[in-house]
Amino acid sequence: MTHPDNTDVAAVLKAAQDNLWLHFTRHGAYAGGEVPTIVRGEGAYIYDIHGKRYLDGLAGLFVVQAGHGRSELAEAAAKQAQELAFFPLWSYAHPKAAELAQRLAALTPGDLNRVFFTTGGGEAVETAWKLAKQYYKAVGKPGKHKVISRQIAYHGTPQGALSITGIPAFKLPFEPLVPGSVRVPNTNYYRADEISGVPGMTPEQYGRWAADRVARAIEMEGPDSVAAVFVEPVQNAGGCFPPPPGYFQRLREICDTYDVLLVSDEVICAFGRLGTMFGGQKFDYVPDIITCAKGLTSGYSPIGAMIAKEELFEPFKRDGVMFPHGYTFGGHPVSAAVALANLDIFEGEDLLGHVTRNEPVFRATLERLLDLPIVGDVRGSGYFWGIELVKDKTTKATFDEGESERLLRGFLSHALFEAGLYCRADDRGDPVIQLAPPLICGPKEFDEIESILRSVLTEAWNRL
């Protein structure tokens, strides 16, 4: 059987089944069936190998900000590949990396002016931790090496980034990991009573309480041993936890008090996901380091970056000193050119303004689902939303392991996809459905998302 564009469907499906090793995938689930295979995208939609259309409710993987099928990004890549396909940033520069670094420095809050390019987010996190360690050695505080991060937070898969990650199940197969990372509570206000043990806190009180757990962890570890705190502006894993009011301001104070670097891991949240370029502009804080990737090119070519404040670069200006760290493909010329073209789209189409204007509409559309008995909470920011599913709305009782398995893996993920919505049903924390569509979406797509979720969640409840 051949597809209209001459894809040999059976051959592709067989190759996917026989030779491809999918990421974070239970391959057993596809045994005897077929691996869902996406062949093209256009705007907010993707098409599978059989020609069926789906709304891309996750922008690929929080990546495709400007939407699929943008010829200007493809052209930027082709032009750069012809001019200079590759050169490393190891002791040499190339114009597109330099221009992109300058442009990012202008867009970040504060004086985060030094851009170290990677190929993705995990490498950016890894780079930030290594920088923090070497920086403190260089300024005469060699004991400062530990990091603090939040429960259930995902920060990537390299062994350092995985050590920072707060999801035990992802870490266990690879223990022992890099030592020196410590967990604190996250900002899940929906479950604030359970997490804090203090009933009825206001969001402000909970924000203060959660930020103060960082201070306590620093005290317990010993301030002379702690180098950095890694937090996302809105925590992804667990289902989009926004910071309660005052959280980041208190965290900034704590980091300043103890001379600990505040690392804002914006691999998902940067580049318009929240309606701003970076989380600091949304929640009014200036971190010491930003890690980012994904949306920087809208996924048309891979790149990531660690962006550090100028002070952290000072020791590396000295004669004979270097940061012995790098990636062959970090800051790849094609990716840098695509990133610049992508940032042009952000400006030309006012994507930030579009997300900011539509955020209340997206929220209100998803909140309509709160009339369903299975929907416990709708939370998020910008175009980044989580819907927490519960067994009992009054008690907030969640699903046990078996129910979660049957509901999320056995039914929901598949049923949503079948119904034409690609999104994520996730149980790294409590069961949630996550939505993060391309930033070009508007009320029409929000309604489509709501309508598919309504029918599939209603069916899920009936099956329970």
Ligand X SMILES: Cc1ncc(COP(=O)(O)O)c(C=O)c1O
Chain contacts with ligand X (rule: CB under 6 A): 120-122, 125, 154-156, 232, 236, 265, 267-268, 293, 304
Name the minimum Å distance from CB 395 to ligand X: 31
Of 121 and 333, the one with the shorter C-beta distance to ligand X is 121
Distance CA 365, CA 349 (A): 24
Name the minimum Å distance from CB 317 to ligand X: 29
Whether 422 and 57 have beta carbons less than 8 Å apart is answered as: yes
Of 56 and 232, the one with the shorter C-beta distance to ligand X is 232
Which residue is at the shortest CB distance from ligand X? 121
Name the minimum Å distance from CB 171 to ligand X: 14
Name the minimum Å distance from CB 232 to ligand X: 5
Q: How far, in whole angstroms, is CA 313 from its chain's centroid?
A: 26
Of 41 and 156, the one with the shorter C-beta distance to ligand X is 156
Report the largest interatomic distance among the alpha carbons of the chain, rounded to a whole angstrom. Answer: 69
Whether 439 and 65 have beta carbons less than 8 Å apart is answered as: yes
Name the minimum Å distance from CB 123 to ligand X: 6
Name the minimum Å distance from CB 127 to ligand X: 11
Question: Which residues make beta-bridge pairs with 55?
Answer: 45, 421
Output the DSSP codes for 327-364: -TTTT-HHHHHHHHHHHHHHHHTTHHHHHHHHHHHHHH
Distance CA 160, CA 248 (A): 24
How buried is residue 92: exposed, middle or buried, by Cβ count under 10 Å (0-12/13-18/19+)?
A: exposed
Of 125 and 378, the one with the shorter C-beta distance to ligand X is 125
Whether 174 and 162 have beta carbons less than 8 Å apart is answered as: yes
Name the minimum Å distance from CB 175 to ligand X: 19
- Crossing angle for the helix pair 71-83 and 333-348, nearest 10 degrees? 150
Of 124 and 192, the one with the shorter C-beta distance to ligand X is 124
Name the minimum Å distance from CB 315 to ligand X: 26
Name the minimum Å distance from CB 250 to ligand X: 21
64-91 burial, b at 16+ Cβ within 10 Å, e below that, comes to bbbbbebeebeebbeebeeeeeeebbee
Give me 78's structure tokens.
């082709």
Determine if the peptide bond prior to 243 is cis (ω within 30°).
Answer: no
Nearest to 195 by CA among 186, 203, 205: 186
Of 181 and 236, the one with the shorter C-beta distance to ligand X is 236
Whether 184 and 148 have beta carbons less than 8 Å apart is answered as: yes
Of 272 and 376, the one with the shorter C-beta distance to ligand X is 272
Whether 373 and 457 have beta carbons less than 8 Å apart is answered as: no
Of 129 and 190, the one with the shorter C-beta distance to ligand X is 129
Residue 195's CB: how many other CB atoms inside 10 A? 19
Distance CA 396, CA 388 (A): 10
Name the minimum Å distance from CB 365 to ligand X: 24
Nearest to 109 by CA among 258, 324, 282, 305: 282
Of 67 and 156, the one with the shorter C-beta distance to ligand X is 156
Of 162 and 369, the one with the shorter C-beta distance to ligand X is 162
Nearest to 256 by CA among 211, 301, 305, 292: 211
Name the minimum Å distance from CB 20 to ligand X: 18
Of 276 and 365, the one with the shorter C-beta distance to ligand X is 276
